[in-house]
């Protein structure tokens, strides 16, 4: 129980109020920082990201180390060894699936 300055005890409801006040944030800066990070990742060009992907990006962006400490070289090498194309590779034309779909649509045109 808390006492007033004159020694009179305060009620139990005040104890509950004080315990609630101890956990309330003083400002919304943390929340604003989170929204700012989300706006960096979820742009108009990347609006189809899954919620789980945005969550993972935010977790790393907010809690992870700075990007300057990350060495991407080993990940790029493993990606290229797996047979995927790099960002600077020469484009070889439309995929065969697109060509097959175009041929199939020509069959049904009058």
List the chain pLDDT tens, one digit each, 110 residues.
Answer: 566 666 666 677 777 788 888 888 778 888 888 888 888 888 888 888 888 988 988 888 888 887 788 888 888 888 888 877 767 777 666 665 555 555 555 555 55
pLDDT at 99: 53
- The percent of residues above 70 in pLDDT, for the chain, comes to 70
What's the first-to-final CA gap in the chain, in angstroms? 88
Cα separation of 54 and 60, whole Å?
10
Distances (CA, A) of 20 to 5, 15, 25, 51: 22, 9, 11, 31
Mean pLDDT of the chain: 76
pLDDT at 72: 84
What per-residue string of b and e applies to 37-46 under the rule 16 or more CB within 10 Å gives b?
Answer: beeeebeeee
């Amino acid at each position: 129980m808390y006492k007033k300055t004159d020694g009179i005890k305060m009620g139990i409801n005040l104890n509950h109020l004080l315990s609630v006040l101890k956990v309330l944030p003083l400002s919304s800066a943390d929340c604003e920082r989170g929204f700012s990070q989300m706006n960096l990742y979820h742009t108009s060009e990347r609006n189809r990201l899954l919620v789980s992907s945005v969550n993972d990006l935010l977790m790393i962006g907010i809690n992870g180390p700075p990007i300057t400490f990350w060495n991407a070289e080993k990940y790029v090498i493993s990606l290229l060894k797996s047979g995927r194309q790099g960002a600077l590779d020469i484009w070889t034309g439309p995929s065969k699936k697109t060509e097959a779909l175009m041929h199939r649509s020509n069959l049904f045109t009058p």
